[in-house]
Structure 1
Amino acid sequence: MPHDKPILLAAGGTGGHFFPAEALARELLARGRAVTLVTDRRGQAFGDSLPEVPVHRIQAAAPGGGLLGKVKAAVQLGIGTIEARALMRQLDPCAVVGFGGYPSVPTVFAAGRAGIPTVLHEQNAVLGRANRMLAGRARRIAVAFPEMAAVRDADRAKLVRTGNPVRPPIAARRDAGYAAPSADGPVRLLVTGGSQGARVFSEIIPEALRRLPGALRARIELAQQCRPEELDATRARYQGMGLGALTLESFFRDMPDRLAACHLAVTRAGASTVAELTCIGRPALLVPYPHAMDDHQTANARQLAAVGAAWLIPQPDFTAETLAERLTGLLSDPAALAHAARAAHGWGSDDAAVRLADAVVELCGRHCQEDGANGNRIEPSEAAE
């Protein structure tokens, strides 16, 4: 029976690749589907959150610098593909879902060779390099953004917009309405740069806030993530500034609450950040990380800015003077903030995992129907031939 055949999720590397896999696993398990995770030797498991999901580890590596690094990576990917082909024979999955990054390459490649339908999930507005390698073998490419770069014309018919799954505590705040700051009330400003913060924010934002009118500074309640080694220096920069409130942490465990409460966020433009901002619907100043692969964070930010959900400031233009001018204008214009919040909320969603699961399950059903109609079901012993 189709439900007896597992769905393999190929993920590893960063949390940006790994969390969507966990969200999909939860949704598939809730539908009574069997799920198995395939990751690389360094990849984490779903751990205590989903102990019922079996984990298989195979070899994989991103191409390193220089000829030697590339050769080593090619060898590891080759070994991983052999291991993945053995898994196809052993597990006989009804579908494989790859979440980008080189840890997904051997599994998706082996599935394509075995005739097992594959779905790729792309979190960013630029198709990642691993997904580009695999796109020709995929039946579906699930995407988070309506406009996708680096997709071949031949693969565009495979695109289906599902969105990028967010954490359950973020999804639970989807209906938290946005109330713009009043003319003389507090202004809650949230600054994040990823789990370890961003050095440029710690350097620029204090100087920008110092340039604001004193009355506006006194209204600002600032919560900012910093690198652990920069906490003391950053706190010193705010000394005597007269902010309404100041919270500096290296990691916010209550991020869903802080995001829902903020009036304006200053953040990078990674895929998970964009998904969380738009799920809850919060306006943001986006400063893309300039060294991201293929500059995908700028592509992400441009799409939000195009629909009025955020304002893009390239890092070379992210100066104290520019930021102070932008903050003065925005924090004095609650209507503009409210408009951006509505646009962000309209762009985002809290059901990406459901939509992604729909696409995967539909593909599983179609594959089983085709096998039954053609009488050519792939047997496990044939999968690697």
Structure 2
Amino acid sequence: MAAPDPAKPLVLVCAGGTGGHLFPAEALSVALGQRGCIVDLVTDERAEKYGRAFPARATHVVASATVTSKNPLALARTLFNLGRGYMAARKVVRVLRPKAVVGFGGYPTLPPMFAAVQLGVPTIIHDQNAVMGRANRQLSAKVTAIATSFPGVLDKDPALAAKASFTGNPVRPMVLAAAEIPYDPPTPGGPFRLCVFGGSQGARVMSEVLPAALERLDADLRARLLVVQQARGEDEAAVKAAYARLGIEAEVAPFFVDLPGWIARSHLVIARSGASTVAELAVIGRPSILVPLPHALDQDQLMNAATLASAMAATVVRQADFTPDWLAGELTRIMTDPSPLAAAAAAARGQGHADAADRLAELVLKTAGIAPAGTTP
């Protein structure tokens, strides 16, 4: 474990090992680096599947667990793992002596964030969703400051609202680069580029519904399609075979490193509505059909999707209604008359916050009492 550099302030960034937490953490890390800070990451072993190098000096993997059962034995195992993670995280915080610790949600953030609170280090949590997540709720009363991706998330709790700031959801540099690509509306009878994905974990429903829906299209519409689709590893071969049988040109893979680029080149996106997906669709400015994850305790994806739907930037459909027949009808309508898509793309962009990483970085510096690079505190 490297000793801190006294010439540069260190910020510890903590995030659960999924894209929804790691992507905004990456964006903040880049923004802090531009302001003269060193960043270390605390996460769990899932981050190894992140797909690209995280912009941190070092990564510290701590033990963690998610509460998934009320079974006494399972709860005891969870608490034991969180306790182990807390002790390891406490050592990291004591050795590194960060100026601030920033959490992006997920149970892996609990050990380092609680350790920082106990050791008196300034703490900030960022919540990506329109409804605050469970881990962040546990931390919210104890941390120094709270950043939200949507305005008004904490209005019903004055004590939390008093230390909350609306920053938006930080997006990665590759998203900002993709946002430079203007929307190219489809022409009647021309190619129609469709981008389909289900979040960092993938979504089996996309692999089940999309090929069946596209098979139901008229042949002339099907011939126009260019499809890019994320499919889970166990579904990849079947999806590829289905598109080959239908004669549809398709790029299918479990993970796309440059997914923002594919989004930018698409005419329409079909996806889940995780926080990062919604933020990226808005910053890039693309129309979408969103299928929120069902049965979520907080219905966070439904609330996220509603922000784009209310702006006329997206169509939201419950998974139970997301059938091949429904989707075939919707795509037939859109491809036959694509003229509303350009307005939907502009409406999506109107919901974007491309400066969210900068706004969050400034909040971190202010909370930690760090003078920006090149200034005197």
Please indicate the TM-score interval, normalised by the length of the shorter structure. Answer: 0.7 to 0.9
**3-state SS of 1:24 partner:** helix
Within-5 A mapping of 1:55-74: 55-65=59-69, 66-74=71-79
Task: Choose which of 100, 103, 116 in structure 1 pairs with 2:105.
Answer: 100
Tell me, yes or no, if structure 1 residue 348 matches structure 2 residue 352: yes
Task: Choose which of 109, 116, 121 in structure 1 pairs with 2:121.
Answer: 116
Contact 2:38 2:56 in 1 (8 A): no
- After superposition, the Cα gap between the structure-2 partners of 1:218 and 1:317, relative to the gap in structure 1 and judged at 3 Å, is same
- After superposition, the Cα gap between the structure-2 partners of 1:253 and 1:63, relative to the gap in structure 1 and judged at 3 Å, is closer
- In structure 1, what is the equivalent of residue 321 of structure 2? 317
Give the stretch that moved more between structures: 73-82 or 278-287: 73-82
Contact 1:2 1:364 in 2 (8 A): no
**3-state SS of 2:102 partner:** strand
What is the rounded CA distance, in whole Å, between the counterparts of 1:67 and 1:297 in structure 2?
A: 30
What is the rounded CA distance, in whole Å, between the counterparts of 2:268 and 2:44 in structure 1?
A: 38
**3-state SS of 1:137 partner:** coil
Q: Give the drift of 1:320.
A: 1.6
Q: Give the drift of 1:264.
A: 0.4
Output one character per residue of 1:313-352: Cα deviation in whole Å (capped at 9) or x when no partner: 1100111221122222222333321111011111113332
- In structure 2, what is the equivalent of residue 32 of structure 1? 36
- After superposition, the Cα gap between the structure-2 partners of 1:29 and 1:233, relative to the gap in structure 1 and judged at 3 Å, is closer
**RMSD over aligned Cα atoms:** 2.9
Contact 2:24 2:276 in 1 (8 A): no
Q: Give the drift of 1:283.
A: 0.5
Output one character per residue of 1:272-298: Cα deviation in whole Å (capped at 9) or x when no partner: 222222221110000112144523211
Higher alpha-carbon Rg: 1
TM-score, normalised to structure 2, is: 0.86
- In structure 1, what is the equivalent of residue 13 of structure 2? 9
- In structure 2, what is the equivalent of residue 289 of structure 1? 293
- In structure 2, what is the equivalent of residue 135 of structure 1? 140
- In structure 2, what is the equivalent of residue 162 of structure 1? 167
Tell me, yes or no, if structure 1 residue 176 matches structure 2 residue 184: no
Tell me, yes or no, if structure 1 residue 249 matches structure 2 residue 253: yes
What is the rounded CA distance, in whole Å, between the counterparts of 1:51 and 1:149 in structure 2?
A: 31
Q: Give the drift of 1:9.
A: 1.5
- In structure 1, what is the equivalent of residue 375 of structure 2? none
Q: Give the drift of 1:170.
A: 2.0
- After superposition, the Cα gap between the structure-2 partners of 1:201 and 1:44, relative to the gap in structure 1 and judged at 3 Å, is closer
Within-5 A mapping of 1:271-282: 271-282=275-286
What is the rounded CA distance, in whole Å, between the counterparts of 1:218 and 1:269 in structure 2?
A: 28
- After superposition, the Cα gap between the structure-2 partners of 1:334 and 1:157, relative to the gap in structure 1 and judged at 3 Å, is farther
- After superposition, the Cα gap between the structure-2 partners of 1:85 and 1:195, relative to the gap in structure 1 and judged at 3 Å, is closer
Amino acid across the alignment from 1:158: K
Output one character per residue of 1:222-252: Cα deviation in whole Å (capped at 9) or x when no partner: 2222233333433444455454x33333333
Tell me, yes or no, if structure 1 residue 223 matches structure 2 residue 228: yes
What is the rounded CA distance, in whole Å, between the counterparts of 1:318 and 1:20 in structure 2?
A: 29
- After superposition, the Cα gap between the structure-2 partners of 1:327 and 1:157, relative to the gap in structure 1 and judged at 3 Å, is farther
Amino acid across the alignment from 2:254: S
- In structure 2, what is the equivalent of residue 331 of structure 1? 335
TM-score, normalised to structure 1, is: 0.84
Contact 1:309 1:341 in 2 (8 A): yes
Q: Give the drift of 1:186.
A: 1.4
- Equivalent residue pairs, number: 366
Q: Give the drift of 1:64.
A: 4.2
Amino acid across the alignment from 2:207: S
What is the rounded CA distance, in whole Å, between the counterparts of 2:209 and 2:29 in structure 1?
A: 40
Amino acid across the alignment from 1:177: P
**3-state SS of 1:294 partner:** coil
- After superposition, the Cα gap between the structure-2 partners of 1:29 and 1:289, relative to the gap in structure 1 and judged at 3 Å, is same
**3-state SS of 2:140 partner:** helix
- After superposition, the Cα gap between the structure-2 partners of 1:69 and 1:149, relative to the gap in structure 1 and judged at 3 Å, is farther
What is the rounded CA distance, in whole Å, between the counterparts of 1:231 and 1:90 in structure 2?
A: 45
Contact 1:17 1:100 in 2 (8 A): yes
Amino acid across the alignment from 2:216: R
Contact 2:273 2:302 in 1 (8 A): yes
- After superposition, the Cα gap between the structure-2 partners of 1:166 and 1:205, relative to the gap in structure 1 and judged at 3 Å, is same
